[in-house]
Amino acid sequence: MKALLRLVPGLWLTLLVAAPLALVAVLALSWQADGVPPYEPPWAGQGLNPDNLRLLLEDPHYRDSLLQSLVVAALTGGLCLLLAAPMGIGIARAGRWRNVLLAAVLLPFWTGFLIRIGAWIGLLRDEGWINAVLRALGLTQDPIPLLYTDGAMLLGMVHAYLPFAVLPIFAAATRLDPALEEAAADLGATPGHSFLTVTLPQLLPALAAAFLLVFIPAAGEYVIPELLGPPDATLVGRVVFQEFFQNRDWPVASALALALLALLTGPILLYQRLGRAG
Amino acid sequence: MTPRLVRVLLWAGLAFLWLPVALLVAYAFSASPVPFRWGGFSLRWFAALAANDRLLEAAWLSLRIAAGSATLATLLGGALGWVLARHGPFNGRALLGTLAGTPLVLPEVVTGLSLLLLFVALEGATGWPAGRGALTVLLAHATLGTAYAAVVIQSRLATRDRDLEEAAQDLGATPAAAFATVTLPLMAPALAAGWLLAFTLSLDDVVLASFTSGPSGTTLPVALFSMLRLGMTPEVNALATLLLVAAALTLALVGLLLRRRD
Amino acid sequence: MTARLSLRGVTRRFGPVAALDGVTLHVAPGEFLALLGGSGSGKSTLLRVIAGFEAPDSGTVQLDGADLFGVPPHRRPVNMMFQSYALFPHMSVAANIAYGLKREGLPRAEITARVAQAIAMLRLEGMETRKPHALSGGQRQRVALARALVKRPRLLLLDEPLGALDANLRERTGFELRAIQRESGAAFVMVTHDQAEALALADRVAVMDRGRIVQAGPPREVYDRPSTRFIATFLGAANVLEGTRTEDGALDCPGAGCTLRAEAPLPEEAAAVALRPERIRLAPEPGENTAVGTVEESAFRGDSSLLLVRMQGGATLRVSHAEEDGAPPPRGATVRLAWDRDDVVPLLP
C-alpha cells in the first residue's frame, strides 16, 4: 500500500512531467522534416542539430521575442507590485472585513481570465465604453486607438495577474507584529518613516515572491498579447505558437520553449527558495 | 505609507479588478447588438446563447473534461500530498516533490508544447493515444491539477493531525479504522478544495487545450478564445455572466467547506 | 508482586543519536511515576516506546509479565494522553470519549453508561455535544483524560498533562489528577519537564538525562539526596561546591573557604557536594560545617528571602532565609553560614 501510494503518482509524474520536458530538449536538437510528425530525431541518422538553438541567438526575431517577453513580464510584475502591496497590507489590516476583501480580490481570479480580457476588449475598442465616455466628455472627437496596443496588453496582464501578487503580500502582512510599528512610532518615526524602515524590510521576501509569481507565468503568456496586444508584440509565447502551428517548425518551437525555461530557471529557483523561507 | 494612502490604493485596486467585470455583466442584459452599448433591458443574448449549439457542445465537453481531470487530479494529488506530508524521508522523496512542483512553475506554453510532443511520440511508438482530443486534454489538465491538488492537500495534513491518528490507534483503532474515522473526515474539505481548484483550472485553460486538443476536442475556453480574437459580441457578455455566477457559487462552496474544517 | 510495567535495557537510536540508552525501569500497579527531564532527554521517546509508536532497537518492554514486542499500539492495554490532547476536532466531546470503546465493539448500552461515568468523574456534564474548539483549555485537558481513562487501561501514559494549562489551573488540575489516579487504580506514567509538577504529583520520580535514567526514587529522596551534579542543579537549584577529598572523607573546598563534612565519609570518587539553599542557616559561633561570607544581594520572596553570599574563597552561595527567623541580614553584612552534616550530599561526577 505504502509503495503503491508512491509508485502511482511517481509514474504519472515521470510520464507526464519529466518525459515531456526531456522530449522538448530532444526536439530542440532535432531536424525539421516533411512528414508526420514533422521532425527527425537525432538518432534517425543526421545526429544532433545545433542550428535551432544557434538560430535563437543569431536571428533578431527570436532573440528579441525572448528579450521583449522578459521586459513585459518585468513591467507586469512591477506594476502588479505597486497595486498589490497596498492592497495586501490594507486587507491584512482590515479587521473583520478581511475575509470579505480577500474574497473580493480572489473572486475575479476564479471568474476565468478570458472573460476579464473580453471585458477589456469591450471597454477599449474604438466604439467601446472608454472612448464613448471620452467623447461624451468632449475630450476627443475621433476615437483614440486603445485596443491592440502595448498599453492594452500591459493592462490586461496586470489585471489577470494582480490577485497572484496580492496573496503572498497579504499572507506576510498578517504575520507582521503591529507592536513593531507602534514601537517605531514610540521612538519618533513618522508613519511614512516607520513603513519604510520597519514594515517594508519585513515584507521584502513576500514582495519578491509576489513579483516572481507574476513574472514567471507572464514571461510565457500567449493569450493576452494575442487578444489585446499589437500584432508586432511578438512575445515568446506567441512565437512558439506561430512556429509550431503555422510554420510547423517543431524543433524551433521546442528550442524557444527550452530557451524560455532556461531564462526562467533562476527566477523559479529563487521563488522556490523564498517559498520555503516564508 | 500612511494608513489613508493604503486604503485609497486598496479601493482603487479593487475597482480596477471589478469595474470591467461589473460592466460586462451589466451590458449582458442590453438589447443592443453592439457590445457595451445600452439598448434597453433584454435577455435576448442569453436566448441566442442557448441556441448556439457549437458553444453548448463545447461547454458540455469542458464540464466533462473538468470533472474527469479534477477527479483524477484529486486521487493522484491526494496520494502525493499524503506521501510528501506523512511518509517522512525516503529514497526519491526530493525527486517526487520536485516533479510534483514543476507544473506549478512551468510557463503554460512549455507545458502544453511538451505534453503534445509526448502524445505524438507515444502515438508513434505505441499507437496510443490515437490522435488528440478530449482524452489528451483530460490527461494534460489532470497533470496540472494534480500538482495544485497535492499542494492544497499536503498543506492541510498538518503535523497536528498526525497526533490525532496516533491517538485513534492508541484508543484501539487499527490503522485502517484510524484512517477511515479520523484522517479521511479531516482530509475531506482539503480533497474537495483540491478538486474544485483542479476543476476551475481545467475550465479556464486555453493554452494546454490548444496544444493537446485536435479538431474534435474544442473546449469552451478554446471556443471563447477564437470568438474573442474576432472581437467582442454581446453573446460573449451573456456567456461570461453565466460563468461568473457559476464561479461565485463555486467559491462560496469552497469557503463553506474550509470554514467547516475549522 | 510483579511489576505492572518492566523496561529492561531499552535502547532507541535515531541515526547516530541514542534517544534511549539502556533504560531499565519498573512501575508497580497503582503507582504514579514521573519521568522528569529536559528537552531531548529521551522522556517522550520512552513514552512512545511504551505506547507502541516507536520500536526499541534492543531491550524488552513487558506489561504484567507479557512481552509487548511487535504488539501494535491499537492492541496494547495502554492508553496515552497526548501533549496536544489530540482531540478529534470533527467529533463531539461524547463521541471523542466513546471512540475507544466503539473500537472495542462494546454493546451500545455499555458504551453509553461508561461515557456517562467518565463525564461525571471529570465534571464534564453539559459539554457532551460540544466540539473541542468550543472548550476551554482545562476542559479539553479533562476530555483528553476522560477519553484515555474510559478504556480502563492498566497503564495510562501522560505526556506533559499540565503543560498546556496556565499557571492558575495547573495547581488545581494537578490535585485532580492525583485524585483521579487514586480513584481509577491505574498505574500512571507522566512525562514532564517541570520539576515542581513531578515532585508534587508522583509517588516516584525518575530523572532522565541524555537517554538514561540517572536517578529514580521517591520525590523527597531524589530532592534531598541527588546523586549527580546534573540532578542537584536541575532539581531545586542546589549549591554545588567543588573541592578535593581529604583523607578522612571530608571535602576541602577553597571556594567556600571551609571543609564540608557529611554524615558518612565521602566516596572515593566524589569531588563535589550539593547543599540546598534552605538548609543553610546563620550561625553565631564558628565550628564544624561553618563558613564566613558577605551578603551581596537579597531578594524578598514572600515566605523567605534569597540571599547571594560571596564566600571568602570567592564562591557564591544561594541561601534561603525563612521570614520566621526574623529580618534577613542587610546587603554588605558579614555573615557566618552553617549547615548540618546530614545536608551535605556527595555528588558523583
How confident is the model over A139-150, as pLDDT tens digits?
A: 888 888 889 999
Residue of A4, A110, A272 best to disrupt the B interface, most CBs of B under 10 A:
A110
Give residue C105's Cα distance to chain centre. Answer: 37
Give the pLDDT band of residue A277 (cuts 50, 70, 90).
low
Average pLDDT, stretch B242-257?
Answer: 78
Question: CA torsion angle for B105, B111, B112, B115 (degrees, to 10)?
Answer: -150
Closest CA to C36 of C147, C198, C151: C198
Residue of A43, A91, A111, A249 best to disrupt the B interface, most CBs of B under 10 A:
A111
Cβ partners under 8 Å of residue C182, min gap 6? none
Residue A25, pLDDT above cutoff 90: yes
Q: Going by DSSP bridges, is the β-strand pair C244-245/C239-242 parallel, antiparallel, or unpaired?
A: unpaired
Q: Which of A24, A110, A166 sits opposite B114 (nearest CB)?
A: A24
Domain architecture of chain A: domains with CATH:
60-277 (1.10.3720.10)
Q: Going by DSSP bridges, is the β-strand pair C5-14/A39-40 parallel, antiparallel, or unpaired?
A: unpaired
Give the pLDDT band of residue A278 (cuts 50, 70, 90).
very low
Give the pLDDT band of residue A276 (cuts 50, 70, 90).
low
Structure confidence at residue B250 (pLDDT): 74
What digits encode the pLDDT tens for the residues A86-140?
999 999 988 888 988 988 888 776 677 888 888 898 888 888 888 888 888 888 8
Q: Which residue of A has its CA nearest to B140?
A: A16
Instruction: Name the pTM for this structure.
Output: 0.83
Q: Which strands make up the sheet holding C155-159, listed edge to edge?
A: C78-81, C155-159, C187-192, C32-36, C204-209, C212-217
Backbone conformation region of residue C210, classed left if phi is above 0, alpha if psi is from -120 to 50, else beta: left
| Residues facing C244 on adjacent strands | C252
What digits encode the pLDDT tens for the residues C34-78?
999 988 899 999 999 999 999 999 999 999 999 999 999 999 999
Domain ranges of chain B: 1-42+233-262, 53-231
Give the pLDDT band of residue B247 (cuts 50, 70, 90).
confident
Cβ partners under 8 Å of residue C162, min gap 6? C141, C169, C170, C173, C174, C177, C192, C194, C197
Average pLDDT, stretch A27-35?
Answer: 90
What percent of chain B stands above pLDDT 70?
Answer: 96
ipTM of the complex: 0.91
* Alpha-carbon separation of residue C245 from A177, B94, C248, C265, C266 (angstroms): 56, 58, 8, 9, 8
Measured distance CA(B35)–CA(A123) in Å, rounded: 9
Structure confidence at residue C1 (pLDDT): 55
Measured distance CA(A241)–CA(A55) in Å, rounded: 17
Residue B198, pLDDT above cutoff 70: yes
Structure confidence at residue B159 (pLDDT): 63
Report CA torsion sign: C103, C105, C109, C110. Answer: negative
Q: Which of C87, C90, C103 sits opposite B177 (nearest CB)?
A: C103
Residue A272, pLDDT above cutoff 90: no
Measured distance CA(B17)–CA(A165) in Å, rounded: 13
Give the pLDDT band of residue B243 (cuts 50, 70, 90).
confident
Q: Which residue of B has its CA nearest to C150?
A: B171
Measured distance CA(C83)–CA(B160) in Å, rounded: 11
Query: Which CATH number is associated with domain B53-231?
Result: 1.10.3720.10
Q: Do C82 and B181 touch (CB under 8 A)?
A: no
Structure confidence at residue C166 (pLDDT): 83
Q: Do B106 and A122 touch (CB under 8 A)?
A: no
Q: Which of B166, B171, B186 sits opposite C151 (nearest CB)?
A: B171
Structure confidence at residue B158 (pLDDT): 67
Q: Do B24 and A119 touch (CB under 8 A)?
A: yes
Average pLDDT, stretch B20-46?
Answer: 84
Residue of C81, C99, C101, C115 best to disrupt the B interface, most CBs of B under 10 A:
C99
Helix (H) or strand (E) holding C207: strand C204-209
Those residues of chain C that have pLDDT short of 70 are 1
Residue B248, pLDDT above cutoff 90: no
Structure confidence at residue A137 (pLDDT): 86
Structure confidence at residue B160 (pLDDT): 63
List the single range of A185-189, B135-139, C61-65 with lowest mean pLDDT.
A185-189
Contact A49, A31 (CB under 8 A): yes
Cβ partners under 8 Å of residue C206, min gap 6? C25, C33, C34, C35, C36, C213, C215, C216
The chain-wide mean pLDDT, for chain A, equals 90
